[in-house]
Amino acid sequence: MSKIVVITGGGTGGHLKIADVFIDELKNRGFEVIYIGSTYGQDRFWFENDDRLKEKYFLNTSGVVNKKGFAKIFSLLNIFYKALFCLKILKKYNIKKVISVGGFSAASASFASIFKKDCELFLHEQNSKIGALNAKTLKYTKKAYSSFHDFSPIKDYPVDVKFFNKQRVRSELKTIAFFGGSQGALAINNFALKVAPKLNEMGIKIVHQTGKNDFLRVKNEYLKLGINADVFDFSKDILEKMKEADFCVSRSGASTLFELCANCLPTFFIPFKYAAQNHQYYNAKALFDKDLCYLQNEDDLDIELFFDILKEPNLEAISIGLKEFIKPNGAKQIVDDILKD
C-alpha cells in the first residue's frame, strides 16, 4: 500500500476541521499526507504553513451551486481543467487513496481520483443533508462516512480527542459562551448583546466569539454596557474558550455541534437559516429529539424563553447524555476502515 494519502476539501471551518483530524490520524500512523484545497475560503489559512503535510496545493477553483449561466459553465470547465492537474499529482505520487471532506474545494481532486483507475475515493459527509458535491460523487466512492446517514458503515464523527480529554459534566451555570462559527453570526452577536445586561446582573460571565467582521462593533457595545466580557474574533483552538463555559449559544454546523457534544457542553442552538437545505436545523434536531439540546430558529428568537431555560437549564442531565451520544476515536475507526482494504 502506498504510504501517501491525499486529503481534499474545505472552504469552511466545518470541512477543514475534519481534514485536520484526518491529517493527525494518518500522520500518527506513519503516513505522508498531501492536501489539495482552494485559494478561496479558509483553506490557506488552515494549511498553508502546516508542517505536517508533505505537499499542499491550493487551486483557483470556486463553487458552482449558486452560479448561473456563463459563470456556472466557466466554474465547471475550470474544475474539470484543475481535475486534470490533480490527476498528474495522483500519478506522480502513485496515490491509491483520496479522502474527500466535501465542499467545493474537493471537486477537482475527487474527480481526478475517479478518473484514475487504480485510485479509491472515500468521502466524509458532515451534515444531516448531503452536500451537492458529495451527492454527485457518492456512487463513485469506495466508502462514505457520516453520523447521520445509513450509507455509512461507521456512524461516528472524527472529533479531535482533545475535546474529549477536556470534557466535564456541568452542574452550575457560571459562564455562558456565544459561538457564531469561524465567520461569526450577526444574529447571535445581536442576541448576545440583548441578553448581556441581564446575564451580567445574574453574575454570569460571558465568553463571545464574534467573527472578524463584527469584532469591533461588538467589543465596543460591551464597553458601552460596562460589561467585562471575554470577546474575541476567531480562534483555531476554540476548546480553550469552550472548556470555560457551562452553557453555550451556537450555530449548529456539524463540526461545532459534535465538538460541543464531545466536550459535554449543553447548548442552545440557533441554526444558520440560509445553510444549504437548512442542514444546520436538522443537525441540531438530531440532538433536540433526544432532549440533549435547546433549539430555536433565529427568526423566532424569544428572550423571555431563553431566560426561562436558564432558570432550570438541566445542565447535569444534558451533559451526561452528551457524554453517551458521541465516543472518542471516531477518526481512528474511520481510518482503520479506509486502510483495511
**Cα(99)–Cα(267) distance, rounded to whole angstroms?**
31
User: Is position 12 annotated in a ligand binding site?
Assistant: yes
Between these two residues, 126 and 13, which has the higher pLDDT value? Answer: 126
Q: Say whether 280 counts as a known binding-site residue.
A: yes
Domains recognised in the chain with CATH numbers = 4-159+328-339 (3.40.50.2000), 162-325 (3.40.50.2000)
Residue 213, helix vs strand vs coil: helix
| pLDDT value of position 155 | 83
Q: What is the dihedral of CA 236, 166, 31, 326, to 10 degrees?
A: -100
pLDDT in tens, 173-222: 999 999 986 666 899 999 999 999 999 999 999 999 998 889 999 999 99
pLDDT tens for 14-26 read 889 999 999 999 9
Give me the pLDDT at residue 202, please: 97
* Residue 182 is assigned to a ligand binding site: yes
Residues 200, 271: contact at Cβ < 8 Å?
no
Contact assessment for residue 145 and residue 152, using Cβ atoms and an 8 Å cutoff: yes
Indicate whether 147 pLDDT > 90.
no
Q: What was the pLDDT predicted at 327?
A: 85
Q: Which three cell numbers stand for residue 109?
A: 481532486
pLDDT of 307 higher than 90 = yes
DSSP letter, residue 214: G
User: Considering the entire predicted model, what is its pTM?
Assistant: 0.86
Please say whether the beta carbons of 211 and 185 come within 8 A: yes
Cell of 158: 472524527
- Position of cell 483557483? 60
Residue with cell 472552504: 11
Res 169 pLDDT > 90: yes
Q: Is 153 exposed, middle or buried (0-12, 13-18, 19+ CB in 10 A)?
A: exposed
Q: Is 13 annotated as a binding residue?
A: yes
